[in-house]
Structure 1
Amino acid sequence: MSAPQFDPAVYATQLEEKKQRLIDLLAPFGAPEPQVFDSAREHYRLRAEFRLWREGEDRHYAMFAQGDKHTPILLEDFPIASRRINQLMPRLKAAWHGSKVLGFKLFQAEFLTTLADDALITLCYHRPLDEEWQAEAEKLAAELQVNIVGRSRGKRIVIGRDFVEEKLTVAGRVFTYRQPEGAFTQPNGEVNQKMLNWAYEALGERQDDLLELYCGNGNFTLPLATRVRKVLATEISKSSVYAALANLADNAVDNVTLVRLSAEELTEALNEVRPFRRLAGIDLKSYEFGSVFVDPPRAGMDPDTCELTRRFERILYISCNPETLAENIAQLSDTHEITRCAMFDQFPYTHHMESGVLLTRRKA
């Protein structure tokens, strides 16, 4: 993980620059001015990973500048990380210095926390983990009141749970989420909550069905499912699928069918290019899709998937890359127009941003 340039004094200027960049990218499509959702200036990041750097007999948390893996930036705290991470950092450091079992060949520490104040620490080793390590890790987990995952080549030991529990409020309802160790989660919890509320409002109350591509652990699925008759959601990652199924059950959301397919595979299925065993028992023709929700990776939607979304009256699109968002909109702009637009500052002090658009079919 590269070290961001932390300087709250320049935050407002950087936010305005990001807003203008999004405006410029979407200007060819007549987009309305984006609604801007800012971030807390510090303690906003719910996950962090650090390499450990040895100096003499001591090891320190370390990060590196972009492109430089040889000059460590040694850290005692990390202001952009959650308060829980900052509380845990010195206590974990004291533990690896105080225990040869915990400290021996430890090379990386990863923290995953939530707005609900749950925490998981992953400890990565260049040696096999044994029963002695597990006994020490269990004591540490109890002392810190965290879950711990130990990783070494070919082995993974879980102390407590291998996920954290999050609570996010959307339109007054609290949704609970399991967020697995090692799986993708939104790093900025407060801004994620703002994204969920924006998407919930943008979709509106519908009497038809929703197709969701790239659903992950169900981050958006849970609240959006309450706005439509039923949802067909897809995700390719096994760990995310398992988490999403658990999250649907935990929140008593029963109008979602989740299938482990990539967006490209579902496009083939809907186009009747070929059948998929994972769709056995699912009648695709029974859905009355009025909207599609997409939250693709940085590469955006591939051309075939983008073409698929053209079929829908409404395309609700969350993007982590405004350049590929603009490329996808260019493909769709002859049939759809941007009616709502937003920018979410998930990543302060970097050039990265999340954005959202609602595209609706042009009137004939």
Structure 2
Amino acid sequence: MGLAFDPANYAAQLAEKRERLCQLLAPFHAPEPKVFSSQPEHFRLRAEFRLWYEQGQPHYAMFEQGDKHKAVLIDQLPIASKRINELMTPLLEACKADPMLGRKLFQVEFLTTLSGDALVTLCYHRPLDDNWDAPAQALATTLGVQLIGRSRGRKRVLERDHVLEELTVAGRQWRYQQIEGGFTQPNGGVNQQMLGWALEAAGDNEDDLLELYCGNGNFTLPLSTRFRKVMATELAKSSVKSAVENLAMNGVENVTLVRLASEEVTQALTGVREFRRLQGVDLSDFNFGTVFVDPPRAGLDPATLELVKGYPRILYISCNPETLAQNLEELNETHRITRCALFDQFPYSHHMESGVLLERR
């Protein structure tokens, strides 16, 4: 993605994605999908570049998919945020000028936000020590960014290892801590649209929400306004830590956050196992009417599929429409699709995100 950048073809590519999604969902009599397009340029908030050295001088490089040996040298990336493009040249020039910053530097990672915050990670094939800190701090101050240095087994954080994002959903602003190296939605504009669609699909409810794969609370925060209570689950410790911070930062008090894998949630809710991580959580106090899932590319595993079928409504965000269609073959037995959407998180690639609301037949 990015090497075949052509804004003139964007509308045609999006139409092809819509047609592919419609074909995949046709067996389940899905309604017409609502299509959420991306900005054609400067939409990607994250980017990482390998450095390619020619005559001892570093250049940003990208590679065609499947070919890690033929570098395409670049100095700007139109799909990346304007902030990333602003930082690319002065950052590289500073690393060329100071051996303490540039020696054995092999990768640069950018994480930016819609709100203007930026974090840059410099990755090295050499150990980092205190001597790196002073020039790195000077560079961070000059560029107005957070700066992190990484080498094998070491991570040097000058100030903080996260950015702060602000997203507006249905007229309300939400603040998110986004950790370096953690998962965040790369297309901030489409993410806002995706959150808005999920909020509208959820509607207003007097019962509770069960959320699996909650990550840093991207969906959890706005969805918490539409339910009496929420139990949100996530396994990755770094994501749970950010989710806790995000709930507190936004004053959300009706969410119970539990560090469990989806299969463990199934075991807990069906009484198969008890978990120490659920101590103090009274599962009988929840009345789940809706389950929200945003699974990895592999989709829902068989046990989780069986679990979600037990709830009146399933709100399913998918990063892989093929595995979504596979899951729907089973979910269609008990539920019908009442809403459908396509979110173009990844323009100029075959990837797309989609969403469906399923309601019990």
Please state which band the TM-score falls in when normalised by the shorter chain: over 0.9
RMSD: 0.7
Structure 2 partner of 1:153? 152
Structure 1 partner of 2:215? 216
The alignment covers a number of residue pairs equal to: 361
Structure 2 partner of 1:269? 268
Q: Which amino acid aligns with 2:229?
A: K
Is structure 2 residue 48 aligned with structure 1 residue 49?
yes
Is structure 2 residue 296 aligned with structure 1 residue 332?
no
The answer to whether the 8 Å contact 2:2/2:348 transfers is: no
Structure 1 stretch displaced more, 350-359 or 272-281: 272-281
* Alpha-carbon distance between aligned partners in 2 of 1:180 and 1:197, rounded to the nearest angstrom: 23
The answer to whether the 8 Å contact 1:214/1:295 transfers is: yes
* Alpha-carbon distance between aligned partners in 2 of 1:3 and 1:228, rounded to the nearest angstrom: 40
The answer to whether the 8 Å contact 1:234/1:258 transfers is: yes
Corresponding residue SS for 1:174? strand
Query: TM-score, normalised to structure 1's length?
Result: 0.98
* Alpha-carbon distance between aligned partners in 1 of 2:343 and 2:159, rounded to the nearest angstrom: 34
Corresponding residue SS for 1:226? helix
**1:161 CA drift (Å):** 1.2
Write out per-residue CA displacement over residues 212-263 of structure 1, whole angstroms, 9 at most, x where no aligned residue: 0000000000000010000000000100000000000000000000011011
Structure 2 partner of 1:19? 18
Structure 2 partner of 1:246? 245
The answer to whether the 8 Å contact 1:343/1:356 transfers is: yes
Q: Which amino acid aligns with 1:87?
A: E
Percent pairwise identity: 65
* Alpha-carbon distance between aligned partners in 1 of 2:28 and 2:338, rounded to the nearest angstrom: 10
Unmatched 5+ residue regions in structure 1? none
Structure 2 partner of 1:289? 288
Q: Which amino acid aligns with 2:239?
A: S
The answer to whether the 8 Å contact 1:4/1:350 transfers is: no
Structure 1 partner of 2:35? 36
Corresponding residue SS for 1:42? coil
Is structure 2 residue 300 aligned with structure 1 residue 298?
no
* Alpha-carbon distance between aligned partners in 1 of 2:251 and 2:316, rounded to the nearest angstrom: 26
Unmatched 5+ residue regions in structure 2? none
**1:132 CA drift (Å):** 1.2
**1:154 CA drift (Å):** 1.2
Q: Which amino acid aligns with 2:101?
A: L
The answer to whether the 8 Å contact 2:2/2:77 transfers is: no
Structure 2 partner of 1:348? 347
**1:57 CA drift (Å):** 2.3
The answer to whether the 8 Å contact 1:3/1:65 transfers is: no
* Alpha-carbon distance between aligned partners in 2 of 1:5 and 1:248, rounded to the nearest angstrom: 39
**1:323 CA drift (Å):** 0.5
Matches within 5 A, 1:78-89: 78-89=77-88
Structure 2 partner of 1:310? 309
The answer to whether the 8 Å contact 1:121/1:148 transfers is: yes
Q: Which amino acid aligns with 1:248?
A: L
Matches within 5 A, 1:223-234: 223-234=222-233
**1:3 CA drift (Å):** 4.6
The answer to whether the 8 Å contact 1:3/1:64 transfers is: no
Q: Which amino acid aligns with 2:349?
A: T
* Alpha-carbon distance between aligned partners in 2 of 1:347 and 1:160, rounded to the nearest angstrom: 31
